[in-house]
Amino acid sequence: MVTEVVEVRVLSLTLYGRQVGHLAGFRDGRTELTFTDAFRDDPERPIFTLTTHSRFPNSARLMASPWVKTQKLHPVLSNLLPEGALREFIAQSLKLHSDHEFDIFSHLGGDLPGALIARPLAPEEVPPHLLKAHGKAKAVRAAVSAQAARFSLAGVQMKFSMKEKDGRYNLASGSGELGDWIIKTPSTRHPFVPANEYTAMRLAGLAGVTVPEFKLVAVDKLEQLPQINLPDETWAFAIKRFDRNGQHRIHMEDFAQVFAKYPREKYNAANYENIGSVLYEYSGNALGDVQQFARRLLVNILLANGDAHLKNWSLLYPAYAAPTLSPAYDIVTTRAYMGDEREYALNLGRTKRWYEVTFEHFENWSRKADIPWRAIKPHLDEVMERARTLWPEALQELPMDEEHKRGLREHWANLQQCFRV
């Protein structure tokens, strides 16, 4: 009986110049992530994902065996890939099916979110022990096309990593230069999303939410965009990449990765108590981060943002440093587009309903997350004071569509008395 030769393609995974491990891809769609002994046995290793943190229970045991998945990549890697229209665009340009995650990951591995780099190995570079584990295994080269834009931004809308120069923005692809701005083009489904997001982020900042630099950019300042249909709108939304500092990468992961959940589970696999507990236990700025987290939770309610799911909260992992909560991003008044939307994304204090939530629900959240309520309540009070003092006048001058502004004011009037603006 002749044993069939198994062909395997292998990517080398590195983080801050350290070898993390290898990702093997097989023809049947199976993938295996194997950590190197040196990475696993080093208590000072940089954080790849929170479960590999040296303080995480049984982290060494979790890394002792390969992380095997039958079709998709492991969630820690799968969540680095775009969703929706952007994934379809990249897959089509590569002449691949959008479910072929290993191939898409291989192509995008040089400009992933955070600091992880995935490099295809030539057959002669593949460590022999990876092949021995699969009997008659033969290493083959992972084909990487040079045709498609080579960047990856998790999310469902069309957005691009771009480099600013002299007030113009160019795609950061192919040259080895990292993009320093994320550019979100106008939506073909919903009108004036860039102005909506700009306004929501500006109001969030006024309420004490930590936000990165962001601005509106004229669409005609965007160069080298692929052939995509855009509505006749003037502005795109630009947000400074906080996982980049010039040519230096800063590692990060969203909370779908933290909890090892796939994007399809981002609305139902965890709640805000779970996120708060992780921040309070593992953050290098535990109290400050949970206070900021609580502040953002209330701001999302006040701004009618129903999309603050697991992928819209992230941890930053500076090299060899403790994790911290990233700046805020993707704050949008979603109710402007979702009709009579009445719920936020995840459970908080046993409810998702905007028009039911009170301070009591936040107190229940803090108790469940084992966070002292006395450390949280003053920050919520300050959010309300700032919102009531600053938002009504600011909203008049901000560029949100007038109909969206009216809807936001109606939303404020329908909240419980303690949260009305």
Torsion of CA 241, 243, 247, 248, to 10 degrees: 160
Segment 332-390, tens digit of pLDDT: 999 999 988 999 999 998 899 999 999 999 999 999 999 999 999 999 999 999 999 99
Torsion of CA 264, 265, 271, 272, to 10 degrees: -40
Residue-range definition of the domain harbouring residue 29:
6-139
Pair of tokens at residue 319: 């090299």
What is the number of domains present in the chain?
A: 2
Low pLDDT (below 70) residues in the chain: 1-4, 135-136, 143-157, 173-176
Is residue 145 in a domain? Answer: no
Tell me, yes or no, whether 259 and 389 share the same domain. Answer: yes
* Entry pTM: 0.93
Is residue 152 in a domain? Answer: no
Helix (H) or strand (E) holding 94: helix 84-94
CA-closest candidate to residue 233, choices 341, 153, 149, 158:
158
Tell me, yes or no, whether 164 and 302 share the same domain. Answer: yes
Tell me, yes or no, whether 121 and 233 share the same domain. Answer: no
Tell me, yes or no, whether 221 and 127 share the same domain. Answer: no
- Quick one: pLDDT at residue 105? 94
Tell me, yes or no, whether 215 and 275 share the same domain. Answer: yes
Tell me, yes or no, whether 107 and 169 share the same domain. Answer: no
Tell me, yes or no, whether 275 and 308 share the same domain. Answer: yes
Is residue 127 in a domain? Answer: yes
- Please state, in angstroms and rounded to a whole number, the distance separating the CA atoms of residues 332 and 95: 33
Classify 278 as helix, strand or coil: helix
- Quick one: pLDDT at residue 156? 47
Is residue 202 in a domain? Answer: yes
| Residue 220: active-site member | no
CA-closest candidate to residue 298, choices 404, 421, 402:
421
Is residue 151 in a domain? Answer: no
Is residue 154 in a domain? Answer: no
Is residue 264 in a domain? Answer: yes
Is residue 172 in a domain? Answer: yes
Tell me, yes or no, whether 122 and 200 share the same domain. Answer: no
Q: Which residues contact 234 (CB under 8 A, 6 or more apart)?
A: 218, 219
Tell me, yes or no, whether 78 and 43 share the same domain. Answer: yes
Among candidate residues 307, 330, 340, 381, the one labeled active-site is: 307
Tell me, yes or no, whether 163 and 133 share the same domain. Answer: no
- Quick one: pLDDT at residue 323? 96
CA-closest candidate to residue 231, choices 190, 188, 184, 183:
188
Tell me, yes or no, whether 178 and 76 share the same domain. Answer: no
CA-closest candidate to residue 380, choices 338, 416, 339, 337:
416
Last residue of a domain, one of 139, 167, 190: 139
Last residue of a domain, one of 111, 139, 167: 139
- Cα-based angle 173, 246, 209 (whole degrees, multiple of 5): 105
Pair of tokens at residue 402: 């007038």
In the sheet that holds 251-254, the strands lie side by side as: 251-254, 314-317, 324-325
Tell me, yes or no, whether 266 and 199 share the same domain. Answer: yes
